[in-house]
Amino acid sequence: MNLALFGPPGSGKGTQANFLVQHFGIPQVSTGDLFRAEIKAQTDVGRKAQTYMDRGDLVPDSITLQLVRRRLDAPDTERGVLFDGFPRTVAQATELDKMLQVMGRRMDRVIFVQVPTDVLVDRLAGRLTCPKCGRTYHPKLAPPQLDTVCDHDGTALIMREDDRPETARKRISVYLEQTLPVLAHYRQQHVVSDIAGTGSIEEVRERILRAIGVPSAAPAGMSTGGPAAGVRLAGEGPGGGIPPSEQGGASDTETPGQRRPPGIRPSDHGRSQGAGHRRRVRGR
């Protein structure tokens, strides 16, 4: 089962990624990690990537995709992978589709962990730092005894640039600008599940498992995983939003014809049956 996980900074995506990797026994494929590994091993591709990074340039898609392809050839990916932070652009997504198709695989589900921007800003911003001793505080989570000064040395606390709400908002909007088109690409394939990223880590986890179509151990009647009402991305501009037909989160998981037991890949997608035929029958 090939999964991709998307979520803005502060969405808790990393925690959920760790869980999914363990739960399904599939490796996480992050291009950042792939680059680091290749550079460390001083491979040709690694050296090429390094020259771009040294110049502060983006590594071209051709190199990124070459790395992903090599990763997907490794035996531990036979049961699938969890893509994290990739694909980053529609062009990459299109190329990944082709690559998977040639391998007799497909993107089975794309999970988008949604959290309202205001909640994200609350999670990411607001930390106060003592410029003298470096202790940090948070007005809500770990407030200093006196509003504006360090408990330890009485120095006036400051908010660092990175911790300002405006900075957090900017990071979130850059992320969404970059990511929404990629999600739109996958929405056309009806594989996107919008998951409400609010509530506890366990609640979010349950929603993700349900969207993937895997029964979990959660007691029946537990809060309905469907993306909670009112969860909307404040930062989304017109046209960037989620089509009404796809709101309600896991809904497209349950579209008749899309639903299938986990691990069984549909064979009627007109995909090439060539190289990957072997893999197809293996399931999880």
Q: Does 152 bind Zn ion (CB under 5 A)?
A: yes
282 is catalytic: no
Stretch that binds Zn ion, among 73-81, 116-124, 133-141, 197-205 (CB under 5 A): 133-141
Comparison of 158 and 174: residue with beta carbon closer to Zn ion? 158
Tokens of 274: 């060539």
**Least distance (Å) from Zn ion to the CB of residue 148?**
12
CA distances (Å), origin 98, targets 79, 94, 103, 275: 19, 7, 9, 13
Task: Give the integer Cα–Cα distance in Å for 264 and 213.
Answer: 11
Question: Residues 78-117 vs Zn ion: string with x where CB under 5 A?
Answer: ----------------------------------------
From the candidates 48, 69, 79, 88, give the one annotated as an active-site residue: 88
Task: Give the integer Cα–Cα distance in Å for 227 and 66.
Answer: 36
Task: Give the integer Cα–Cα distance in Å for 24 and 20.
Answer: 6
Q: Does 132 bind Zn ion (CB under 5 A)?
A: yes
Question: Residues 230-259 vs Zn ion: string with x where CB under 5 A?
Answer: ------------------------------
Q: Does 133 bind Zn ion (CB under 5 A)?
A: yes
Please select the residue that binds Zn ion; options are 3, 4, 150, 204, rule is CB under 5 A.
150
Please select the residue that binds Zn ion; options are 130, 168, 172, 242, rule is CB under 5 A.
130
Residue written as token pair 């469907």: 226
Task: Give the integer Cα–Cα distance in Å for 212 and 245.
Answer: 19
Comparison of 32 and 154: residue with beta carbon closer to Zn ion? 154
Task: Give the integer Cα–Cα distance in Å for 207 and 227.
Answer: 8
CA distances (Å), origin 105, targets 76, 112, 214: 14, 21, 19
State CA 79 to chain mean position distance. 19
**Is residue 17 within 8 Å of residue 82, measured between CB atoms?**
yes
Comparison of 78 and 151: residue with beta carbon closer to Zn ion? 151
- Contact residues for Zn ion (CB under 5 A)? 130, 132-133, 135, 150, 152-153, 155
Active site (catalytic) residues: 13, 88, 127, 160, 171
